[in-house]
């Protein structure tokens, strides 16, 4: 038997509880991992609270990421004792995930733990931090450099936002952090934000073209916020869009794209090819200041996961949430 957060569905919706599960119930996979750490990402919180249609089969163990030690393997790349990390691939959505003592997955989904990170560091970063790195890499690939002007990060006090602020500041960009929580201004400045601005009228319908302000942006909000970000990018600017914390819609016009040549760069971490994942983890090891990572991480007990998921959806949890398992 092992311990897991178990999600079940009944007529009242999603029910989440801490359960003892028989190992024979683990899904198919060629590598069994003893989980050391998992985390709470926005998607985990949607799954646990039932606030979003994340779970595709029931019952489900949530947890879209984990780090741990290989216990058994039939995969040629892994042997017992190897330290591994998993992000995405539908784990915690359609395949049992990391908020449990054990996980069984396809070896092809795993990456080796990147030195010098510990298993805890890897989950302090988690899928949110790895996605922040993918966003930064997308802006770089597009050719956005620090001399071109300010970079906006929306939802800056959340997980993706906090890591994006720290990374971009370390790389020499002037970062403007947008938040709905002005009380987090000093936290964001400590991470490296040169300026902190309220979300304010970015949540309201805006003009098709606004004043040109941003050379680039990382957006976790989607919805009206992303539409206004597009409208206020500088000529040939770009936004890396990865989230929907403010909504799934995109009430924008084509004006910024056809009159200012701006680019909307979509970022997906779930099915991201292996070579780019390895590069993102390598870049995190190079470009994420360990002191900043410590400052943006909170550790919670396994028994507090379900309550904390509610706080994350309510937008009252800041930075990254790491969950020790072993």
3-state SS, residue 287: helix
Helix axes 305-314, 42-49, angle to 10 degrees: 110
Strand pairing partners for 83? 69
The bridge status of strand 102-105 relative to strand 110-112 is: unpaired
Size of the residue set binding ligand NDP (CB under 6 A): 32
Query: Of 56 and 79, which has the nearer Cβ to ligand NDP?
Result: 56
**Options 62, 97, 107, 155; binder of ligand NDP; rule CB under 6 A:** 155
- What residues contact residue 145 under an 8 Å CB cut-off, 6+ apart? none
> Residue 311 has which token pair?
């706080």
How far does the chain reach from its first CA to its final CA, in angstroms? 14
Stretch that binds ligand NDP, among 73-81, 140-148, 151-159, 226-234 (CB under 6 A): 151-159
Binding flag, residue 175, ligand NDP (CB under 6 A): no
Query: Of 83 and 199, which has the nearer Cβ to ligand NDP?
Result: 199
The nearest distance, CB 40 to ligand NDP, in angstroms, is 8
The nearest distance, CB 117 to ligand NDP, in angstroms, is 18
> Residue 185 has which token pair?
């201004």
Query: Of 101 and 219, which has the nearer Cβ to ligand NDP?
Result: 219
The nearest distance, CB 290 to ligand NDP, in angstroms, is 20
Stretch that binds ligand NDP, among 73-81, 115-123, 139-147, 149-157 (CB under 6 A): 149-157
Measured CA to CA, the distance from residue 176 to residue 153 in angstroms comes to 6
Q: Which of residues 204-263 bind ligand NDP (CB under 6 A)?
A: 220-221, 225, 242-246
Give the length of the chain.
Answer: 326
Query: Of 96 and 187, which has the nearer Cβ to ligand NDP?
Result: 187
Listing DSSP states for 131-155 in one string gives HHHHHHHHHHHHT--GGG--EEESS
**Options 42, 96, 109, 117; binder of ligand NDP; rule CB under 6 A:** 42
* Burial (CB count within 10 angstroms: exposed 0-12, middle 13-18, buried 19+), residue 189: middle
3-state helix, strand, coil in the chain (%, to 5): 35, 30, 35
Q: Which residue is nearest to ligand NDP (CB)?
A: 158
Binding flag, residue 197, ligand NDP (CB under 6 A): no
**Options 31, 267, 309, 325; binder of ligand NDP; rule CB under 6 A:** 267
Binding flag, residue 166, ligand NDP (CB under 6 A): no
Footprint on this chain of ligand NDP (rule: CB under 6 A): 41-43, 127-128, 131, 155-161, 179-181, 199, 203, 220-221, 225, 242-246, 267-270, 312, 315
């Amino acid at each position: 038997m092992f311990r897991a957060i178990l999600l079940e569905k009944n007529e009242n919706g999603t029910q989440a509880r801490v359960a003892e599960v028989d190992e024979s119930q683990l899904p198919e996979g060629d590598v069994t991992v003893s989980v050391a750490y998992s985390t709470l990402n926005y998607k985990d919180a949607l799954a646990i609270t039932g606030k979003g249609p994340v779970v595709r089969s029931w019952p489900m163990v949530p947890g879209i990421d984990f780090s741990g030690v290989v216990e058994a393997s039939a995969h040629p790349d892994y042997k017992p004792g190897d330290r591994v990390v998993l992000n995405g691939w539908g784990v915690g959505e359609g395949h049992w995930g990391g908020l449990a003592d054990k996980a069984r997955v396809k070896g092809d989904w795993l990456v080796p733990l990147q030195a010098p990170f510990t298993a805890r560091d890897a989950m302090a970063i988690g899928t949110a931090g790895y996605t922040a790195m993918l966003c930064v890499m997308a802006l770089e690939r597009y050719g956005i450099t620090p001399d071109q002007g300010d970079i906006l990060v929306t939802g800056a006090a959340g997980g993706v936002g906090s890591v994006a602020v720290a990374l971009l500041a370390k790389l020499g960009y002037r970062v403007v952090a947008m938040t709905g929580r002005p009380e987090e201004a000093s936290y964001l400045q400590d991470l490296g934000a040169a300026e902190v601005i309220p979300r304010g009228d970015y949540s309201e319908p805006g003009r098709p073209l606004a004043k040109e302000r941003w050379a680039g942006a990382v957006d976790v909000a989607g919805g009206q916020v992303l539409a206004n970000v597009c409208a206020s990018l500088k000529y040939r600017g770009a936004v890396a869009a990865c989230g929907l914390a403010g909504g799934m819609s995109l009430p924008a016009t084509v004006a910024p794209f056809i009159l200012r040549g701006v680019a909307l760069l979509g970022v997906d971490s779930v099915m991201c090819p292996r070579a780019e994942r390895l590069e993102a983890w390598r870049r995190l090891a190079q470009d994420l200041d360990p002191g900043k990572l410590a400052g943006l991480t909170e550790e919670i007990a396994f028994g507090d996961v379900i309550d904390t998921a509610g706080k994350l959806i309510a937008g009252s949890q800041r930075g990254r949430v790491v969950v020790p398992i072993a």
